[in-house]
Amino acid sequence: MMLHVPGVLTPEQVRDIRAALAAAEWVDGRETVGPQGARVKQNRQLPELSPVGRELGQSILAALAKSPLFFSAALPLRFVPPLFNRYEGGENYGLHIDGAVRSVPVSNIQLRTDLSCTLFLCEPEDYDGGDLEVVDTYGTHEVKLPAGDLILYPSSSLHRVHPVTRGARVCSFFWVQSMVRDDRRREMLFELDQSIQKLRARVGDCEETVSLTGHYHNLLRMWTEV
């Protein structure tokens, strides 16, 4: 399941993050991928242990914690701390799949990458190209979102970033280990949760909404891995 999560960051938060990134030191993006990814990756990133990047990443995770839509879709258990990348002057990232397991820096934690997240930090009109292309069982999807919006998709999906031919594309990206490993089960729980919320908004709490909520939590209990 792919999901657009709008308004994760306010315009003011985007502005402050962009100002901090403008003063930061960027490195070759190939430092954070394996040999296969390095052959198709051309961009720049903040180093994984950058103090600026780690502080900004914490502010992004704090903003995400306020998003009921993100929680409902991702059911997050653990996060790889957000990283930051920049594409310009024809830079791109060819077709690839993210690694199944990543280490959390400065820890002994290893995390299964169930979901990939890209949080856009500049407006679509600020650059040409740079679309995120995701290939899944339903076809090919190209994504280019407003600043502050996030796209969430299964890490098992093939994806690429098209060349940026004008301006600069600046984003944060990170991975989530979900409490529910299977993407189809997460999707079913998400759809059930959203239907319950809409029904409650329309008719309030009643016998039917209580019953459906019970089914939701019993399915979550059955499928959760923590």
In the prediction, which pLDDT does 191 show? Answer: 98
- pLDDT tens string 26-36: 999 987 776 76
- Let me know whether 9 and 113 are in one domain: yes
pTM: 0.94
What is the distance in angstroms between the CA of the first residue and the CA of the last residue of the chain? 21
pLDDT-derived band at 164, boundaries 50, 70, 90 = very high
pLDDT surpassing 80 at residue 202: yes
pLDDT surpassing 90 at residue 183: yes
pLDDT surpassing 90 at residue 136: no
The position carrying tokens 């076809």 is 139
Question: Tell me, what amino acid is at 134?
Answer: V
- pLDDT tens string 61-71: 999 999 999 99
In the prediction, which pLDDT does 39 show? Answer: 85
Cβ distance 178 to 111 under 8 Å?
Answer: no
- Let me know whether 95 and 203 are in one domain: no
The position carrying tokens 């290939």 is 135
Q: How many CB atoms lie within 10 A of CB 171?
A: 24
- Let me know whether 102 and 141 are in one domain: yes
- Let me know whether 8 and 91 are in one domain: yes
DSSP secondary-structure letter at 23?
T
In the prediction, which pLDDT does 138 show? Answer: 82
What is the b/e burial string over 69-104, where b = at least 16 CB atoms within 10 angstroms of the residue's CB?
bbebbbbbbbbbbbbbbbbbeebbbeebebeeebee
Mean pLDDT over each residue of the chain, to the nearest integer? 96
In the prediction, which pLDDT does 38 show? Answer: 74
In the prediction, which pLDDT does 187 show? Answer: 97
- Let me know whether 194 and 168 are in one domain: no
Q: What is the CATH number of the domain that holds 82?
A: 2.60.120.620
Question: Tell me, what amino acid is at 128?
Answer: D
pLDDT surpassing 90 at residue 157: yes
How far, in Å, CA of 183 to CA of 73, rounded?
Answer: 10
Q: Give the domain range for residue 93.
A: 3-178
Q: How many domains, in total, are found in the chain? A: 2
- pLDDT tens string 84-117: 999 999 999 999 999 999 999 989 999 999 999 9
- Let me know whether 47 and 67 are in one domain: yes
- Let me know whether 103 and 213 are in one domain: no
Q: What is the CATH number of the domain that holds 207?
A: 4.10.860
- Let me know whether 25 and 104 are in one domain: yes
Query: Cα torsion for 177, 149, 119, 201, to the nearest 10°?
Result: -10
What is the b/e burial string over 38-60, where b = at least 16 CB atoms within 10 angstroms of the residue's CB?
eeebbbbbbbbebebbbebbeeb
- Let me know whether 191 and 167 are in one domain: no
